[in-house]
Amino acid sequence: MIKAAPRAALPRRWIIVAGAGLAVLVFAVLAARSVPRAVQPGSPGSTFPQAIPTAELLAVTADNRSIVAEADAARAANAALLLVPGALEPARSFAGPADPATRLRAETCLAQAMYYEAGFEGEQGRRAVAQVVLNRLRHPAFPHSVCDVVYQRQGGTCQFTFACDGALARQPVAAIWDKTLREAGEALAGRVEKSVGMATHYHADYVYPVWAPRLEKVAAIGHHQFYRWPLGWGRRGVFTAAYTGIEPGVLPMPPAMATETGSAEEAAMVAQGLGEVAPRRSDNDAGYVDPSKGWRPTIADISSEPAREKPE
């Protein structure tokens, strides 16, 4: 039998060198895995406060008249625009003012927005509007008090439709107003409406604004569609603006502002019970309106005893 010749043994020093090289390679791989990869805007773990929308997008979203579809066409467009998966981040709880007079002003401004924008949408709809107001308050793109957010005018229009369309000239239903005022107080005391996350924009389902597909849709509640800013500017980490703690007070009707139910003077007369303006309304007052159209939405025609401005 022929036997194979024995292999020459490797020098010991080469074995030591090879082992050391392998150890270095393993360490390098493990170190690479431990380094966090770049987080993309809008992904979990991203705040990206520098991802500010363009000036053009800021201007478009501030203009309530940027409507591209209405009625059935708008409802179809809204249904086709899907919610962004995983976009709901619950807001941090809000601590309202401790001073009783300031708190009453904040509660009244917030309750007015909730009532006149979504008073007949049910509790969740009203609380969703309140959350949008508080989200705006803590975002760098908006004012930093409740009343300043609610009555903000930008691009020649009111940011919340009721502040310009004459709705405030009509007395609210007392029972619903009292519920709304209580819900506003709870929002200012830290209650969070998680269903809309960090939403800063919304509109009614019977209109489709030009900016809708450019923001991130996060919820659809009642007759409202809710959105947050795109990319990192809509993430919770950006909402760091401090509350001023100063409320300028309720602004029921700027004196020289034309309204959707008539002039400011006519609206003031109605509010005082000294006159009556023939209403021009749709069946639903919620969301954005286009005042250039023939129909002019405001709240439903209701009659009731005047609501109390603060609970008993």
- With H, G, I as helix, E, B as strand and everything else as coil, classify residue 218: strand
A 10 A CB-CB count for 36 gives: 6
Question: Which pLDDT belongs to residue 303?
Answer: 38
Average pLDDT, whole number, for the chain? 75
**At residue 55, does pLDDT exceed 90?**
no
Interatomic CA distance for residues 200 and 141, integer angstroms: 10
The overall pTM is greater than 0.75: no
Closest alpha carbon to 176 in 125, 129, 122: 122
Closest alpha carbon to 298 in 172, 207, 162: 162
Higher pLDDT, 35 or 126: 126
Within a domain: 67: yes
Buried b (16+ CB within 10 A) or exposed e, 206-240: bbbbebbebbbbbbbbbbbbbbbbbbbbbbbebbe
Within a domain: 217: yes
Give me the percent of the chain exceeding a pLDDT of 70: 63
**At residue 13, does pLDDT exceed 90?**
no
DSSP 160: S
- Mean pLDDT of all residues in 13-23: 54
Domain hosting 107: range is 55-248+255-271
Side by side, which strands form the sheet with 224-228?
Answer: 201-204, 224-228, 216-221
User: How crowded is the C-beta side of 244, counted as CA atoms within 13 Å?
Assistant: 16
First to last CA, the chain: 112
Higher pLDDT, 261 or 96: 96
A 10 A CB-CB count for 276 gives: 9
Within a domain: 8: no
**At residue 10, does pLDDT exceed 90?**
no
> Angle at Cα 262 formed by Cα 147 and Cα 204, nearest 5°?
55
Within a domain: 306: no
**At residue 203, does pLDDT exceed 70?**
yes
Tell me how long the chain is: 312
Lowest-pLDDT choice from 22-36, 85-99, 279-293? 279-293
Residue 245 has phi, psi (to 5 degrees) of: 75, 5
Dump pLDDT digits (tens) for 21-49. Answer: 555 444 444 433 333 333 333 344 444 44
Q: Which helix (H) or strand (E) holds 60?
A: helix 55-61
Where does the pLDDT of residue 53 fall: very low under 50, low under 70, confident under 90, or very high at 90 and above? confident
Long-range own/partner contacts, residues 70-78 (CB < 8 A, 24 or more apart): 70/206, 70/207, 70/208, 70/290, 70/293, 71/206, 73/208, 74/205, 74/206, 74/207, 74/208, 75/205, 75/206, 77/208, 77/212, 78/205, 78/208, 78/212, 78/220, 78/225
Within a domain: 158: yes
Within a domain: 32: no
Where does the pLDDT of residue 251 fall: very low under 50, low under 70, confident under 90, or very high at 90 and above? low
A 10 A CB-CB count for 139 gives: 21
Within a domain: 38: no
Question: Which pLDDT belongs to residue 19?
Answer: 56
Sign of the torsion angle spanned by Cα atoms 262, 266, 270, 276: negative
Within a domain: 308: no
Where does the pLDDT of residue 12 fall: very low under 50, low under 70, confident under 90, or very high at 90 and above? low
Where does the pLDDT of residue 224 fall: very low under 50, low under 70, confident under 90, or very high at 90 and above? very high
Q: How many domains does the chain have?
A: 1
DSSP string across 168-188 = GGSPPPHHHHHHHHHHHHHHH
Strands (E) across the chain are located at 67-70, 153-154, 157-158, 201-204, 207-209, 216-221, 224-228
